[in-house]
Structure 1
């Protein structure tokens, strides 16, 4: 069984997760948003205290707030394998350039495409004794993916589906209709009890969002 621990990092309140196998202690770091040394230290302290072995870096998309700490993770655990999807590298600015467009005068170290293993729809990634299935969910970002752990009933949705809402679509290559189509095709077939851990805000479930999320009304 997989367990999950949530951190909230940076002024934009981004959720970074550590997903780990209780028995093997193998871990995945998802969307590392740690932007300052104190946040990096919190992430490392939890991993050390829990005696975890980071095996995977999983990035749902390449918006700056979700990859701010990716370079730190790769330096700290050099044996880790990083996964993301390709379209964001082709279609949106590099994270450091995104920062400049928001007039944020801070340093962000870009991680090049070559540092990632690129994955797409229905690819499988093993973590401990369980597999994560990759779901392609564009709309918030053109290369957005999610990670679904069926046996543990966990969906890591990034910035696509959040508690009571959906991700914004006014950023680079965002597409509202495409995002709704992605959610309908990829998430709504999942069991109602699937726990959704999103990129911002509190956890929710597929069933809760199916019943109460105003953006999903009329979808099935």
Structure 2
């Protein structure tokens, strides 16, 4: 188990055909949990929640590229948890079948999101906040857990990289602004969970990311 803080239960693992990083976040007192970006393998996600003694209440998404929500419908069916997405990414969610065709991934329908995600919205586990960080997609979100010094950045920020901006609704100037104005103002010691690949430290990216550096 990844345990960023005694105040937070956290486990991250890659799922699905494109190995998206899926993260479970749980409150150790209430045992309420959220899942971020269930891009595949819903039964395994449920098994991990059960092993940790957590009750899933919300399924939240950093954005609506196929690899970040392929298992969301099945996970909702298995747990009864609600689906949350920023409204500006609804066009991508509704276009899942087209996305699957383009990337050669089997298509399984996913129900519509239950609730919109808003900038500065408190998350259901009571320990984090949603940040609107557009650029990779118009509705891209990051999730900040200040007490745990934990940032889930989705495909906005990677270890020494940033999200691509050549897909539907992407924009380089916008992602650069999101990173500088919303992420690089956070705690430099924060662990950053990226959408794919290894974790990083926010301060390292501020100083060493070749695409977007703080103060540049």
TM-score, normalization: structure 2? Answer: 0.91
Residues 73-117 of structure 1 show CA distances to partners (whole Å, capped at 9, x for unaligned) of 110111x23221001114776122111123x151222321xx321
**Counterpart pick for 2:8 among 2, 6, 15:** 2
Question: Are 1:89 and 2:90 matched, yes or no?
Answer: yes
Map residues 1-220 of structure 1 onto 2, 5 A cutoff: 1-34=7-40, 39-78=41-80, 80-90=81-91, 94-102=95-103, 104=104, 106-112=106-112, 115-127=113-125, 130-217=126-213, 219=215
Gaps of 5+ in 2: 1-6
Q: Is the 8 A contact 2:26 2:54 kept in 1?
A: yes
In the TM superposition, residue 66 of structure 1 has moved relative to its aligned partner by 0.1
Q: State the secondary structure of the residue aligned to 1:15.
A: strand
Q: Is the 8 A contact 2:190 2:201 kept in 1?
A: yes
Looking at structure 2, the residues matched to 97 and 108 of structure 1 have their Cα atoms a distance apart, in angstroms, of 11
Count of aligned positions: 210
Pair 143,105 (structure 1): closer, same or farther in 2 beyond 3 Å: closer
Gaps of 5+ in 1: none
TM-score, normalization: structure 1? Answer: 0.89
Q: Is the 8 A contact 2:59 2:83 kept in 1?
A: yes
